[in-house]
Amino acid sequence: MPRVRKVQNKKEKAPAEKVRVLITGAKIQSRIKEMARQIRKDFAGEPLHLVSVLKGGVFFLTDLARNIPGQVSFDFIAVASYGQNTHSSGQVRLTRDLDSSIEGKTVIVVEDILDTGMTLQYLLRLFQQRKPKHLRVAVLLDKPGRRLAAVHADYIGFSIPNEFVVGYGLDYSERYRNLPYVGVLSLGGKERETV
Ligand code: IMP
Ligand code: MG
């Protein structure tokens, strides 16, 4: 009887994704407290209207809002970018508008990260047309090395190198948003470069 050789069809394991901690949750929280204090100082006694960009900016907004004393309201907007390498295409469109008017309000746009700047450039143009009393920008993270649009953020949590980060609202294919820290994502040992 011929010997039958079993061919093992070993499935190749997908390389494991890893996240290397870049900014701990504790550091994020203490920096947000400082930012909140500064914002309140700059607009002492004024009602503030925080506008966050879904979904990444939500964690930052809620922590920031809880640390700003006095009158604070908030609203949400959502945008989508066309194509794959969306951030650099500059094609941003609105998928969900604000619930209420911002006319005459002191508006702080709250974003997770300022990367190429295309998203914020689009939003700031849109909001400026709606005649707010003041329009300011607060970002948790800034990647200055990636800027394509001349966007200025008034409040910056941390400047970070040009690496793809996840956590604290930031995602990779909708995952990792729930991490309480910000980390650099690597795919199978290789850190993912931003496109
Ligand atoms: P921008 O229009 O290029 O400034 O891109 C801003 C948006 O791109 C952010 O709100 C994020 O949703 C996304 N983004 C940019 N860099 C990263 C990153 O390192 N990790 C996850 N999302 C990012
Ligand atoms: Mg975002």
Ligand 1 site, residue 87, Cβ cutoff 6 A: yes
pTM value surpassing 0.95: no
DSSP assigned state of 132: -
**Average pLDDT over every residue of 35-61:** 97
* Residue 38 CB coordination number (10 Å): 14
State the Cα–Cα distance between residues 119 and 139, nearest whole angstrom: 12
Q: How confident is the model at residue 99 (pLDDT cuts 50, 70, 90)?
A: very high
**Average pLDDT over every residue of 116-136:** 96
Ligand 1: which of 170, 171, 178, 187 to mutate, judged by most atoms within 8 Å of the beta carbon? 170
The pLDDT assigned to 16 comes to: 85
**Average pLDDT over every residue of 7-19:** 67
pLDDT > 50? residue 86: no
20: buried, middle or exposed (CB in 10 Å: 19+, 13-18, 0-12)?
A: exposed
82-86, 111-115, 174-178, 179-183: which has the minimum mean pLDDT? 82-86
Ligand 1 site, residue 164, Cβ cutoff 6 A: yes
DSSP assigned state of 176: S
pLDDT > 70? residue 62: yes
Catalytic-residue membership of 115: yes
**Average pLDDT over every residue of 148-155:** 95
The pLDDT assigned to 7 comes to: 47
User: What ranges in the chain are assigned the alpha helix state H?
Assistant: 25-42, 58-67, 86-89, 118-128
